[in-house]
Structure 1
């Protein structure tokens, strides 16, 4: 089969298309013929050796895939050959065939096409867990979403509204991305290159601040977010996109205001508590099937063009999800 491997840590040029043996499955695993896979920022970090759990090259990058079940292990019960599924594969997804554990494989509703399905696993599952299970967003609350024009950003905006948020505010790094966040349903979008986002959030909330803040950037953005986090507010960090480590948070910023700083990693959840994701799938997939949640697809490439897909994401010019069509 064809697969893209990271031959060494480095730039997009280390992504190599090779021929390799089709993987075999264990008794609780599923073999999937990949139709499409998404490109995530975590793939970029893995290429540089900066993503937690990254092995040594060569390895296949990619977190999720959509495709058709080709074979199942002897103990597999909930999926069968021929099922259309999404999955979090065991050893990367930039390949024509992948292997996934049964509990990390989810059967698709008939209404979902493979493009939408491939765009959803990492961003939709992460967004739902952040909002519903970690931040526990409540009806009418104000939600602030950093990096609002990206895959998780545009998905989280919609899910916040679905889950009852009263106001959703997004931030973006440059003005060209404002329209993507607005199109996803954000009530207000702030460009933090030209505005003080904390000051603007406080203005939009009559001085109360945001009840929930989703932060994948870290560094100064995390620190500044505390200037607009409401009493009883929850700031959830789930990435360090700018590479910075935030300064020490003073306990006085938290206990007297009843505020919380929380962390979440979908990768850790897949590895340590995969059983938690079935409930997430049961919630998210119906939202996609009935159209309440729309996946924003910004670009499509072939498997052979994986380096171009990485270049686009690294340019910070991409909006929505970037896909690799493997067996279209």
Structure 2
């Protein structure tokens, strides 16, 4: 099968076309014919060498897939050949076919496209999980979401709004601020280039932090006494010792993805697609460059 992989870290020119054979299907795996994969921050950073992994080169990147089940392992019980599914594997989705674990996969509703499903499999799922599971966010609570116009942040904002947040605060770039205020003028958005979010007068019940570092530490002063902060980055020493419920998390869950896709199907969660194009070497390089240089609003998705 055709893949696009890397055998060294660096700029987009490290990508090249290759061919691989998949190993025999394991008991709890699904074999997927890939129909769409998104460009995710994790894969851009991995290609640059920011996550290590030199001992695993050559590597096929890509951490989101939407496609059709071609075969199932002997112990698979919840899926069948022909099902439309989405998943977030750890790498391997820049390929015509790939395997995913049953527990990572979710059925795609009929009115959700492969492009939409691939777009939300990683970042949106993370933001949705942060609010729903990690924060156990409740109606009437307030929330601050950093990186509000990114995939994690935008999903977190939408899920908090869906639950019934009393007030939503967010940080974003200037173009991200415009985007979020067009989505919902009630969101109080701070332009992180020119505004100091720590000047907000109210403290909040919950914070979603996909940024880390100083942003995470400054956020602690904005939490109520029983507030919670969740982050996709490492906790700083200050956050570790703070008298708040602060935690770092990352977990792919097929059930969480299924719940998210159900909300997308019902129209309560909006998927923002920036561009989609055909999966090939040229377009993969182009989309990685666009993401790295500009962090576009909305997802970049490649279709097979």
Is TM-score (shorter-chain normalized) higher than 0.5?
yes
What are the ranges of 5 or more consecutive residues in structure 1 without an aligned counterpart?
271-276
Tell me: CA distance 1:282–1:99, structure 2 relative to 1, closer, same or farther (3 Å).
closer
2:300 is the alignment partner of 1:322: yes
1:119 CA drift (Å): 1.0
2-side partners of 1:23 and 1:111: how far apart? 33
**Hey, what's the Cα distance between the residues in 2 that align with 1:151 and 1:59?**
25
| 3-state SS of paired residue (1:176) | helix
What stretches of structure 2 of length at least 5 have no aligned partner?
none
Kept in 1, the 8 Å contact 2:43–2:91? The answer is no
Q: Is residue 213 of structure 2 the alignment partner of residue 219 of structure 1? A: yes
- SS in structure 1 of the partner of residue 129 of structure 2: helix
**Pairing of 1:138-157 with structure 2 (within 5 A):** 138-157=138-157
Correspondence 1:1-328 to 2 at 5 A: 1-22=1-22, 24-51=24-51, 56-89=56-89, 91-172=91-172, 174-185=173-184, 187-199=187-199, 201-202=200-201, 205=202, 209-239=203-233, 246=236, 248-249=238-239, 251=241, 253-254=242-243, 259-265=244-250, 269-270=251-252, 277-304=253-280, 305-325=283-303, 327=304
Deviation at 1:249, TM superposition (A): 4.3
C-alpha separation between the residues in 2 aligned to 1:282 and 1:58?
32
- Cα deviation for residue 91 of structure 1 reads 5.0
- Give 1:54 shift: 7.6
Aligned partners of 2:117 and 2:55: how far apart in 1? 27
TM-score, normalization by structure 1: 0.85
Query: Do the aligned residues in 1 keep the contact of 2:106 with 2:258 (CA within 8 Å)?
Result: no
- The CA deviation at 1:4 is 1.3
Aligned partner of 1:274 in structure 2 is none
Mapped to 1, the partners of 2:12 and 2:262 lie a distance apart of 36
The runs of at least 4 aligned residues of structure 1 exceeding 6 Å deviation read none
